[in-house]
Amino acid sequence: MTAATTGFDIEEFHAEAVQTPSHESVDEMRELLVDTLTDAGHSPHVDDDGNVLVSRGVGDVTDEGATASPHIVLNTHIDTVAPHISYEPDGDVVRGRGACDAKGPLAALLAAFLRTEPDEGTLTLAITPDEETTQIGAAALADRLSADGFIVGEPTDLDVCTAARGQCEAEITVSGAGGHAASVPADENPMYLIGHVLTALSAYDDTVGTEADPLLGEPKLTPTVLSGGDTTNRVPDECRLTVDRRSVPPETSDGFRESLQAYLADQLPDRDVAVDLLRADTPFPDPFVTDSDAELVTTLAAASDGDIRAFGAATEASYFAATAPTVVFGPGVLADDEGPVAHASREYVRLSDVRAAADAVETALTTLV
């Protein structure tokens, strides 16, 4: 089955997708995807976590992940960050929210899926609803899907990315003696104590943090939000500092929390300092590295003529890489010479790159499945 026989037009789908807001709710975007697959002769399944699953070939993917090998999974997401930005075509360039992150990769992977008839094994399209927020969908899929390789769609400028740093967020709470501003001693004022925490954080990686990774480089710890106090003449009982952590192997989000808690306890003895992961009931992507010699990597790199490198942001690929070779690949860029592109007000993608990404994935799949 080819794109022509299914009636699927990659540019028309991309245009409709970018025009479909999915920053607050993905319901309309998911309906577009399900209807497109159904019109092409497939029967997609929406699971309890809102993922869209459809497979072709020898096997059939279910909620239990049962299928035949070799099994390759094509994954990306349908949600976008706020605010929605209107669709604006300009020749080969399409601007708008999601143009490159990740409706460009979605259009490319969908086209490759529809064009490919596996000689053996199974090809699965698995699309998640919450990559930009909780990432519950991908974590649930990783627990269920058994695959021999994953291609995760993100804007990589057609390079094959085999690694990414992990990402988590933690809140540091410093408690002290709240009371009248005229009477609370400085050494019991959480506002002063949080300053000691900031000083300690600047030396964290040099003291106890994970060493640099050959491919991903050094981990990064960044304070992002400081809060505390509600009245100008009263010292608050506590102050809170949020930090963003970009990790490299072998660090995990839980390991980072425990390490940071122990480090701050050592740096600020006899002080009440607590470290808690934000959204502790949802997953965080840990860092991953896929062997650059894996067949999935070399096959897709040959098909795309792209470089093999690390990806510049955290990604749902982390959840899949724990069980099978995983790469990040797609049209568009996170940033260009002028500044940020993905998530920015100037988000765009080139349609020629969307088509090239689809062609590369299709070519790779003829070898892989």
Instruction: Show the domains of the chain with their CATH numbers.
Output: 3-164+287-368 (3.40.630.10), 166-277 (3.30.70.360)
Interior CA angle at 230 toward 228 and 231, to 5°?
130
Question: What distance, in Å, lies between the first and last C-alpha atoms of the chain?
Answer: 15
Record the pTM: 0.90
pLDDT digits (tens, 9 = 90+) for 244-284: 999 999 999 999 999 999 999 999 998 899 999 998 788 99
The answer to whether 22 and 102 are in contact (CB under 8 A) is: no
Round to whole Å and give the CA distance between 75 and 53.
10
77-128, pLDDT tens digit by residue? 999 999 999 999 999 999 999 999 999 999 999 999 999 999 888 999 999 9
Largest distance between two CA atoms of the chain: 79
Cα 205 from Cα 318, distance rounded (Å) = 22
Measured between alpha carbons, how far is 227 from 4 in angstroms, rounded to an integer? 56
What are the residue ranges of helices labelled H in the chain? 3-6, 10-18, 27-39, 103-115, 136-144, 190-201, 204-207, 253-267, 295-304, 317-321, 351-368
